[in-house]
Chains A and B, each alone.
Chain A
Amino acid sequence: MRIGTLKTSYAADEALFDTRLQKLLLVLALVAAVLFPFVASPYWLFLACLCAINVASATGLNILTGYTGLVSLGQAAFMSVGAYAVAVLEIHVGTPFLINLLAGALVTALVGIGVGIPSLRVKGLYLAIATIAASVVLHFVFSHWSLTGGARGLSMPPATLFGVALDQPFQLYWPIMPVTVLMVLGAANLFRTRIGRAFIAIRDRDISAEVLGIPLLRYKLMSFAVSSFYAGLAGGLWAYFFRVVTPESFPLVNSIFYLAAIIVGGMGTVLGGILGAVFMTMVPEVLKFAAGMVTPFYPDALALLAPVRTIVFGALIVGFLIFEPHGLAEIWCRIRRFFHLWPFKT
């Protein structure tokens, strides 16, 4: 229960985390994130890293699609740009791990700007098709260019950071998790300033945005750049995580996966990107677990896993679109509101 939020300065009212409970939960989450690798099995650490990478990418897509209203089906292709850039740098140039990540993300941001240029003229479905076209072009380039190893792709040595080889989920967790946390914080900050507000303005009513002095093309391209920077960074982490990058590593289906993640999580909220990506990453694991449970009674359960997973994904997306269009983030907000007034109003 919370009687009221009594603030005495504008800074307090503009803060990202404003209640004491929120700050407490945040500290607890950070402590848990630090302790997690020491108690979890490699399997759970693997999942945690995968979740973090997907959160980073979904947050990037949310900036572009959820906040700016530009529907993109190119997120996986942007990730592949980051992954290939990192792999090439690691193999052929040998620059340090963090520099490679940053360079890969910057290259991806440039590619994103290029893909975003049609966005001034085409919107909605048409823009989505344009981003699919870009994905196909990128796939073609990567599977035919000698630098990217053609269809066989590239195999990378493990990254080293401070002399430690990052070849197990335990070691990889330490760069992946903080980078993702910083990216999410960056996104949250972005939407407290004029640039984030301009993105939302373009989504909600672009004519009005222009009258307020927001140059549309510039901000749309900026949104593409930021979004693909996030995708590139996520792709770079992905490359170091799996250490094999092939043209088939980032199929179009993955782009749909990220779009589904932000729909399920909640478009246009930072929390939505996090919840959606974690949820969508964990659904197959939960199904696998459930299949394991029913195997004693129904021996074919594991064989059915793949088709059932596809059906469950489809049903989840349709279900969220119909019953919970604002996604998991809205459910979380409802829970919060309930406890603000509890027990006076139930």
Chain B
Amino acid sequence: MTGAADDVILSVKGVSLAFGGVRALTDVSFSVRKGSITAVIGPNGAGKTSLFNTISGFYRPRAGEIVFGGRNLAGTAPPERARLGLARTFQNIALFRGMTVLDNIKLGRHAHMQTGLLDALVYRGRARREELALRAEIEERIIDFLEIQHIRNAPVATLPYGLRKRVELARALAMRPRLLMLDEPVAGMNREETEDMARFILDVKEEWDVTILMVEHDMGMVMDISDHVVVLNFGQVIAEGSPATVQADPAVIAAYLGAGDLGRRLSAPEAA
């Protein structure tokens, strides 16, 4: 990548990860530029979610380093990474089932709030001011933006899949992220839901000035909205570049998508 160093928000440098003898990631390096949408693609088991968990801080890489906003993340626990502006969603949706949509979204702001235990018990002064300011901001910026007004008081457990994905995005936005990591944001969605989600992701990038790193299998969407694509296979980066470059890369077509039907879909996403 030719961009200046200060243009890069996240750089993964030579990261290797192994579980016992299984090598999940081998010498993975790539950068995410500020204000871009970067997609990580690859077949099942390529190590995409392992990569995300390493960036989140759940796994400690055996080698290599991850630099976020100019700061090396080695030795930083997940909660601390949240405070630095790293937000993510999960492949299988990790909402809090017993809570309402509103409470789930409020939790996103946890790390940026000040209320202490004693304030909380009396709910006066700071605790009250902070809660009301948070409520107003969530209502006016996030709920309105993601069009989930009608479900704000619904328990998450009662919602259909597509809406849950949207609530999870809302919660991540409440974290005021600088980098938003989305793990398969449209998996299992129908065409209409996928298009809605793609629109939200583009709007988040434009209006919220948030950089996006996503893992996704829906090639149509990846090729439509990404600025940069990283292809993983067996834990290694086999190609990276603009969607057009990756589509044309023979190594990707051969090694990852195969020469058959999927290969054609990749080079002509509109027909997918």
Contacts and interface: CB of A to CB of B under 8 A. Distances in A.
Interface stretch (B14-22, B107-115, B213-221, B263-271): B107-115
Interface in B57-101: 58, 77-80, 82-83, 87-88, 90, 94-99
A209 B79 CA distance: 8
A205 to B, nearest CB: 5
Contacts of A13: 135
A226 interface: yes
B122 A186 contact: yes
Interface stretch (A89-97, A98-106, A162-170, A193-201): A193-201
Contacts of B80: 213
A208 B95 contact: yes
B175 interface: yes
A193 B131 CA distance: 7
A193 B132 CA distance: 10
B55 to A, nearest CB: 11
Interface in B103-138: 103, 106-113, 115-117, 119-123, 127, 130-132, 135-136
Given A13-B135, A195-B115, A213-B79, A208 B96 contact: yes
A197 B98 contact: no
Chain B interface mostly helix, strand, loop or mixed? helix
B123 A212 contact: no
A212 B117 contact: no
Nearest to A267: B98
B33 interface: no
Given A203-B98, A210-B78, A195 B135 contact: no
Given A200-B96, A201-B96, A212-B175, A193 B110 contact: no
Contacts of B139: 10
Contact of A205 (B96, B111, B117, B175): B96
A335 to B, nearest CB: 19
25 contacts: A13-B135, A189-B127, A190-B120, A190-B121, A192-B120, A192-B123, A192-B131, A193-B115, A193-B119, A193-B131, A194-B107, A194-B120, A195-B120, A201-B110, A204-B98, A204-B99, A205-B95, A205-B97, A207-B94, A208-B90, A208-B95, A210-B77, A211-B88, A212-B171, A215-B77
The 9 closest A-B pairs by CB, nearest first: A213-B111, A213-B82, A208-B94, A189-B123, A204-B96, A186-B121, A193-B120, A210-B78, A10-B135
